A and B are shown apart, each in its own frame.
Chain A
Amino acid sequence: MMNGEKKQKQQPDRRGNRTILGRTVFLMAIFGVVIFIPLLVRLYDLQITNHEYYQELAISQQTRDVAVTANRGTIYDSKGTPLALSSTAYDIIVSPRDLNTVQENYQKKAEAYQKGDSKTAPGPEPTDEAVASGLAEILGLDKDTILLRLQKDTSYVRLAAKVEQDVNEQVMAFKLEYGLSNALYSTPTSKRYYPHSSLAAQVIGFVNAENEGAYGMEAYYDSVLSGETGRVVTAKNGNGTEMLSRYENYYDATDGNNLNLTIDATIQYYCERALEKGIEMYDVQNGGFAIAMDPNTGAILAWANSPTYDLNNPSQVTDPDTLAELDTLKATYGEDSDEYKEALGSAQLLQWRNKAINDTYEPGSTFKSVVLAAALEEGVVSESDTFSCTGSVVIAGETIRCSDRKGHGTQTLAKAVANSCNPAFIAIGQRLGAEKFYDYLEDFGFLELTGIDMQGEAGSTVWSRDFFTGPYGEASLATASFGQRFNVTPIQLITAASAVINGGHLMQPYVLESITDADGNVLQSTEPTERRQVISEATSEKCRTILEGVVNGGTGKNAYQAGYRIGGKTGSSETLEDDHTIVSFLGFAPADDPQVVVLIAFDNPKPVSPGSNYTAGGYYISGGVMGATRAGELLANILDYMGVEKQYTAEELSGADVLAPSVVGLSAADAKAKAEAAGLTVRTVGSGETVTDQIPIQGASIPGGSEMVLYLGETKPTDQVEVPNLSGKSPETVRQTLSSLGLYMKATGVSDYYTSSTIAAGQSIAAGTMVDRGTVVEVQFMDNTATTAGAGF
């Protein structure tokens, strides 16, 4: 070997060496330089050119960005009663992928147990079937649907959203029983809860699945209520475990603020009850609304709509008729059909709708209060003016009839208002003139939005000034004078009417009293805003007096409530459809110093037969019969609740309630004197010297002038009597019937009991009920004649 090498050195293969050198230099160029160039270029492309792209992707997988839900604020009524609250609820999540792992592990465990490798007996087997049926039972879902969803190759299936705490606990117990570990879990979320379910539903509104306000105050003040969602950004490793790192960042959630509404839950309840009662009694087909407002500030006290719905389940249609129709559609076309879905959607929209602001209507005779105020303010009429009515008047070649076809004859201004006389108001309108009339339409706010803090306020539909004051406006002026042929929103009407009676101040109506934070600090509060003074205090006072006359013997006499001075105006607006009337009543009380104004309307009471003016229940379709009756009762309730002191007239006083004094133990003479002093008459039973018992018992509230029975040694009968059916009977008959049974009558309703047309319309204790002797039965009377029906036509 050594020799060979030496030989090689001695005879160097120069050509071969050159080849090796040349080829090595070539390799050096390739492997030392050229191959590294694409690497540097590629790295430049990844790290410099596309740096941000990859960085973003990397960071999005490396960090966890968790939203921290802010607590949504509470909505309170004016007395601090919560109307909308948030509570914790849970979403139930299943991970089908993890369930597979759980099932595999179960098999291993079961095998180990069978072989004897493991001592612990496996629990129930977590098959898809078992999981689906268990969860179906707890969550009230369809088992097959769950089973289908468990087949999906995913790790996130939300089985149920926003379940209650107790359901969640059941789910967790189920999870433990079957050892489902991370195949089943729940995440806390926030759920909106409405403790009064349907109360003021259209005002409060509701939230959608994402807890964002969808309707009503929830939507209008969503930004106030929702607060600010916080974030927690944390770093996590590839297994999803969180790590401490400098990428950690917290952004605190800011809880939402609370709304304090002007709505009073009690008044709201009264309004809803009045509305529901009327709708039921009068066969009202299209629902209605009732608004109560403080005329001095514009604060909305209550706002009821019908049909309504349960805020806790807003998509459930509540109206039974609509529901029946929907069921028919569902049966005919199926649940997924367009027909059904469309009908369901429109039914939902209808019940969510706040009619009194989203829709307009022809105000009818209630509008006459505004015309009256304008005419008095302009001085074109005075209280001493008289108007004559022949039952109809011809304007621009068209005959416009009065509600009383025979005519009202000659009447004073007050009487014309009380009679709701159309020819008289046409004359008043003409005296005002189109220009002035239109000015007042503007001044009373009928051409603008009221600016109330509510969603979807609609605009009115009123003639243009040019048309109204032009040569073709004559008929329009005439119809406008009694509130027909133009459309306004109910909120515009009640706002204008408030100005008529509150001294002429047109207020901006509002629903939000104040915004408070979680600690109760007031962040913002609404000051009543006066838009303008429309009429003078003096004119307003005249209007109040005249409008009180409407209830005191006029078309609105059904609104009468003993002890309260109620003023108002009836309204019956015909629509362009046949037999479709909107009956309404605008009432306020006390008449000398209004504290509350209400507007109640029933849309489309069903006539017993086409063309008839009566409903199946025998009620005349008019604002005077329907609106006034309900409004009067409503006002009495509200005034009672507000603690407004009753003021009795001399006649009323004799019928006013008195408290039965205690006379037991007194001598017969002393007892008689004491009872009479309290305004009661006395009848004695027995022949003893001292009173041993009395009917009614001490402290019972009975009408003044009622008879008190004194027992002088005789035993008081303790048997009960059956309350008779008083419906349709005259006041005198009712009193005699009750008296003979030892019961007391308390009359409510119209003031003048003794006309032939006054009949009992309702009683506080149902016929057939057994009651103690001496019980007071409240009987409601109404005047049921056509002449009181203050119809626009």
Chain B
Amino acid sequence: MTVTARKMKRDLTVEEQLARGPMDLPFLMLTLMLTGIGLVMVFSASYATAYYDGVVAKHDPTYYFVRQALFGVLGIVLMYAVSRLNYQHYRWMAVFALMAAFLCLILVFTPLGFGKATTGAQRWIRVPGLGSFQPSEVAKLGVILYFASRLSKRSTEKKKKYDLRKPSGRLLDLLDRIGLIELVPYMLILGAVAGLMLMEPHMSGTILILVGGAAVLFAGGIKLGWFAAGGAAVAAGLWFIMTKTSYMAARLAIWQDPWSDPLNGGYQTIQSLYAIGSGGLLGVGLGNSRQKFNYLPEPENDYVFSITCEELGYIGAAIIIILFALLVIRGYWIALHARDRFGALLVVGITTLVAVQVFLNIAVVTNLIPPTGISLPFFSYGGTALVIQLVEMGIVLSVSRQIPAPRQG
């Protein structure tokens, strides 16, 4: 990067010239707005919790805000830096990213990982001196990078020849023709990632990666029939998990009626609904939430949007949702205009992840779907998650830089 930056413009390759193109400003603005609003809401939602907490926050109301703000600044700097990188290099890096993801997913079960004791799920890896992060964040990026990279080469791959005289050859030929052969690596990767993540367990992260991977595969041109089959398989799996395991059955019962267990399982949902419902049209005003005063657990985290709804009302919540929608639409727009397939698929994957994550989070806090631990991008407290999200946005921006300018005339 630094080397290329010093080169004279005439010495640049075409790619290098393109990488210096203008960033997509709407996408950048939407990202910055959401990050800014999210930061304000983390402060508003967290200061009561921080004030009452003498162990972690030491009664400092700005504890969460300051940390999130520092990570936010770091994330924006990294986003800009990443946006200046030529994303074409990710093509060959993708396989290493995927390997790193697998490494992280395995490391989480070593003493470096934690979370089992406090939350019942082994989802975090401690990085001495930096804090902690969820390997699932790395896995998301790794899977999407690898899938986009592999799929972008799909049309250029030679069709394999099979020995049609042998029955096995004929079978393989058939499988190749219906597209199963080329699916095998993707399925193996998704299966392995999902398997590792379900061991943590991390249901919502698994869903996210499956949907993100599927979206890339879908956009990449995989035959539609496989999505129907995959969808049916996932639906069957979900149905099995929901109805045949007692753990999920209990959670489903609470989802249908949180008041059936108001002090334990249903408590957080009920408090979230109180917060959202009492917001009304215009909200109780920024900073005036009452539910954040030790009623709604972890208001700065997964449930930050409940406090947002309480303080800013339906109008504020709707504006934020629309901003997310615009960000997602702009993301797909960048994908549509991307210079190449790799860029397009990369952006489709990242954008889809954001969209699905927003949907799942708000659906959970409004009790539209059964509760699962999923954070709201740019809003929920979590430094490394925010940095990774902003880096992902940087990747999208770097793709946007290489969009060919419209032809004159």
| Complex: A44 Cα to B276 Cα, angstroms | 10
Determine whether the beta carbon of B314 is less than 8 Å from that of A32.
Answer: no
Q: Is A472 part of the contact surface with B, judged by Cβ < 8 Å?
A: no
Determine whether the beta carbon of B280 is less than 8 Å from that of A58.
Answer: no
Q: Is B351 part of the contact surface with A, judged by Cβ < 8 Å?
A: yes
The residue on A at minimum CB distance from B280 is A51
Determine whether the beta carbon of B277 is less than 8 Å from that of A55.
Answer: yes
Determine whether the beta carbon of B332 is less than 8 Å from that of A238.
Answer: no
Q: Is A677 part of the contact surface with B, judged by Cβ < 8 Å?
A: no
B341: chain A residues within 8 A (beta carbon): 16-17, 20
**In the complex, what's the smallest C-beta–C-beta distance from A9 to chain B, in angstroms?**
8
**Chain B positions 261 through 276: 1 when the CB is less than 8 Å from some CB of chain A, otherwise 0:** 0000000000001111
Q: Is A249 part of the contact surface with B, judged by Cβ < 8 Å?
A: no
Determine whether the beta carbon of B294 is less than 8 Å from that of A36.
Answer: no
Contacts A24-B219, A28-B329 known; A36 to B359 CB distance under 8 Å? Answer: yes
**In the complex, what's the smallest C-beta–C-beta distance from B372 to chain A, in angstroms?**
16
Determine whether the beta carbon of B317 is less than 8 Å from that of A47.
Answer: yes
Interchain Cβ contacts under 8 Å between A and B, 19 examples: A5-B340, A19-B221, A25-B336, A27-B219, A28-B328, A28-B332, A31-B215, A38-B368, A42-B366, A44-B314, A47-B313, A51-B279, A57-B274, A58-B274, A58-B275, A58-B277, A58-B291, A59-B278, A62-B290
B279: chain A residues within 8 A (beta carbon): 47, 51
Contacts A50-B277, A237-B294 known; A20 to B220 CB distance under 8 Å? Answer: yes
**In the complex, what's the smallest C-beta–C-beta distance from A285 to chain B, in angstroms?**
61
Contacts A23-B219, A24-B344 known; A36 to B314 CB distance under 8 Å? Answer: no
| Complex: A35 Cα to B354 Cα, angstroms | 12
15 further interface pairs, Cβ-Cβ under 8 Å (given A23-B218, A54-B276, A61-B274): A4-B156, A5-B340, A20-B341, A20-B345, A27-B348, A28-B332, A31-B356, A32-B332, A35-B356, A36-B322, A43-B318, A50-B277, A51-B280, A58-B290, A239-B52
Q: Tell which of A47, A239, A243 touches B281, judged by Cβ atoms closer than 8 Å.
A: A47
Total contacts A to B, CB within 8 angstroms? Answer: 151
Determine whether the beta carbon of B309 is less than 8 Å from that of A24.
Answer: no
| Complex: A245 Cα to B220 Cα, angstroms | 57
Q: Is B162 part of the contact surface with A, judged by Cβ < 8 Å?
A: no
A245: chain B residues within 8 A (beta carbon): 290
Query: For window 145-169 of chain B, which residues contact chain A by CB distance below 8 Å?
Result: 153-156
| Complex: A120 Cα to B363 Cα, angstroms | 53
Determine whether the beta carbon of A40 is less than 8 Å from that of B321.
Answer: yes
B293: chain A residues within 8 A (beta carbon): 62, 237-238, 243
Q: Is B362 part of the contact surface with A, judged by Cβ < 8 Å?
A: yes
Determine whether the beta carbon of A51 is less than 8 Å from that of B277.
Answer: yes
**In the complex, what's the smallest C-beta–C-beta distance from B178 to chain A, in angstroms?**
17
Q: Is B109 part of the contact surface with A, judged by Cβ < 8 Å?
A: no
Contacts A24-B335, A24-B348, A243-B293 known; A46 to B219 CB distance under 8 Å? Answer: no
**In the complex, what's the smallest C-beta–C-beta distance from A761 to chain B, in angstroms?**
76
Query: For window 23-78 of chain A, which residues contact chain B by CB distance below 8 Å?
Result: 23-25, 27-28, 31-33, 35-36, 38-40, 42-44, 46-48, 50-51, 53-55, 57-59, 61-62
Determine whether the beta carbon of A46 is less than 8 Å from that of B359.
Answer: no
Closest CB pairs A-B (n = 8): A54-B277, A238-B294, A28-B332, A31-B355, A237-B293, A32-B329, A58-B274, A238-B295
The residue on B at minimum CB distance from A12 is B155
The residue on B at minimum CB distance from A54 is B277
Q: Tell which of A4, A20, A31, A47 touches B314, judged by Cβ atoms closer than 8 Å.
A: A47
Query: For window 480-534 of chain A, which residues contact chain B by CB distance below 8 Å?
Result: none
Query: For window 314-332 of chain A, which residues contact chain B by CB distance below 8 Å?
Result: none
Q: Is A13 part of the contact surface with B, judged by Cβ < 8 Å?
A: yes
| Complex: A32 Cα to B333 Cα, angstroms | 10
A: contact size bracket: 35 or more
| Complex: A54 Cα to B367 Cα, angstroms | 14
Query: For window 345-388 of chain B, which residues contact chain A by CB distance below 8 Å?
Result: 345, 348, 351-352, 355-356, 358-359, 362-363, 366, 368
| Complex: A493 Cα to B221 Cα, angstroms | 109
Q: Tell which of A21, A47, A55 touches B309, judged by Cβ atoms closer than 8 Å.
A: A47
The residue on B at minimum CB distance from A53 is B277
| Complex: A62 Cα to B277 Cα, angstroms | 14
**In the complex, what's the smallest C-beta–C-beta distance from A490 to chain B, in angstroms?**
60
| Complex: A95 Cα to B277 Cα, angstroms | 33
Determine whether the beta carbon of B274 is less than 8 Å from that of A20.
Answer: no
| Complex: A27 Cα to B291 Cα, angstroms | 37
Q: Is A764 part of the contact surface with B, judged by Cβ < 8 Å?
A: no
Q: Tell which of A7, A38, A48, A243 touches B280, judged by Cβ atoms closer than 8 Å.
A: A48
Q: Is A669 part of the contact surface with B, judged by Cβ < 8 Å?
A: no
A25: chain B residues within 8 A (beta carbon): 332, 336
B273: chain A residues within 8 A (beta carbon): 46, 54
Contacts A20-B345, A47-B309 known; A35 to B355 CB distance under 8 Å? Answer: yes
A237: chain B residues within 8 A (beta carbon): 48, 52, 293-295
Q: Is B59 part of the contact surface with A, judged by Cβ < 8 Å?
A: no
| Complex: A237 Cα to B274 Cα, angstroms | 14
Q: Is A1 part of the contact surface with B, judged by Cβ < 8 Å?
A: yes
| Complex: A25 Cα to B317 Cα, angstroms | 26
| Complex: A62 Cα to B289 Cα, angstroms | 11
Determine whether the beta carbon of B329 is less than 8 Å from that of A20.
Answer: no
| Complex: A102 Cα to B377 Cα, angstroms | 43
Q: Is A371 part of the contact surface with B, judged by Cβ < 8 Å?
A: no
The residue on B at minimum CB distance from A240 is B294
The residue on A at minimum CB distance from B155 is A13
Q: Is A8 part of the contact surface with B, judged by Cβ < 8 Å?
A: yes
Q: Is A235 part of the contact surface with B, judged by Cβ < 8 Å?
A: yes
Q: Is B325 part of the contact surface with A, judged by Cβ < 8 Å?
A: yes
Contacts A58-B275, A239-B294, A243-B293 known; A46 to B156 CB distance under 8 Å? Answer: no
Contacts A27-B219, A48-B281, A58-B278 known; A39 to B291 CB distance under 8 Å? Answer: no
The residue on A at minimum CB distance from B13 is A2
Determine whether the beta carbon of A24 is less than 8 Å from that of B275.
Answer: no
| Complex: A47 Cα to B306 Cα, angstroms | 11
Determine whether the beta carbon of B359 is less than 8 Å from that of A39.
Answer: yes
**In the complex, what's the smallest C-beta–C-beta distance from A41 to chain B, in angstroms?**
9
Q: Is B126 part of the contact surface with A, judged by Cβ < 8 Å?
A: no
Contacts A20-B221, A31-B351, A32-B355 known; A47 to B280 CB distance under 8 Å? Answer: yes
A238: chain B residues within 8 A (beta carbon): 293-295
| Complex: A46 Cα to B270 Cα, angstroms | 12
| Complex: A46 Cα to B278 Cα, angstroms | 9
A51: chain B residues within 8 A (beta carbon): 277-281
| Complex: A35 Cα to B358 Cα, angstroms | 10
Q: Tell which of A1, A27, A46 touches B366, judged by Cβ atoms closer than 8 Å.
A: A46
B317: chain A residues within 8 A (beta carbon): 43, 47
The residue on A at minimum CB distance from B293 is A237
| Complex: A1 Cα to B153 Cα, angstroms | 11
**In the complex, what's the smallest C-beta–C-beta distance from B235 to chain A, in angstroms?**
17
Determine whether the beta carbon of A27 is less than 8 Å from that of B324.
Answer: no
Contacts A24-B335, A25-B336, A237-B293 known; A39 to B329 CB distance under 8 Å? Answer: no
Q: Tell which of A1, A17, A43, A62 touches B276, judged by Cβ atoms closer than 8 Å.
A: A43
Determine whether the beta carbon of B277 is less than 8 Å from that of A35.
Answer: no
**In the complex, what's the smallest C-beta–C-beta distance from B320 to chain A, in angstroms?**
10
**In the complex, what's the smallest C-beta–C-beta distance from A627 to chain B, in angstroms?**
69
**Chain B positions 77 through 93: 1 when the CB is less than 8 Å from some CB of chain A, otherwise 0:** 00000000000000110
| Complex: A76 Cα to B96 Cα, angstroms | 95
The residue on B at minimum CB distance from A44 is B314
**Chain B positions 47 through 58: 1 when the CB is less than 8 Å from some CB of chain A, otherwise 0:** 010001000000
**In the complex, what's the smallest C-beta–C-beta distance from B211 to chain A, in angstroms?**
9
Determine whether the beta carbon of A54 is less than 8 Å from that of B52.
Answer: no
B335: chain A residues within 8 A (beta carbon): 24
Determine whether the beta carbon of B92 is less than 8 Å from that of A1.
Answer: yes
A4: chain B residues within 8 A (beta carbon): 153, 156
| Complex: A23 Cα to B336 Cα, angstroms | 10
A21: chain B residues within 8 A (beta carbon): 336
| Complex: A57 Cα to B290 Cα, angstroms | 12
Determine whether the beta carbon of B314 is less than 8 Å from that of A48.
Answer: yes
Determine whether the beta carbon of A16 is less than 8 Å from that of B155.
Answer: yes
Determine whether the beta carbon of A27 is less than 8 Å from that of B278.
Answer: no
Determine whether the beta carbon of A20 is less than 8 Å from that of B344.
Answer: yes
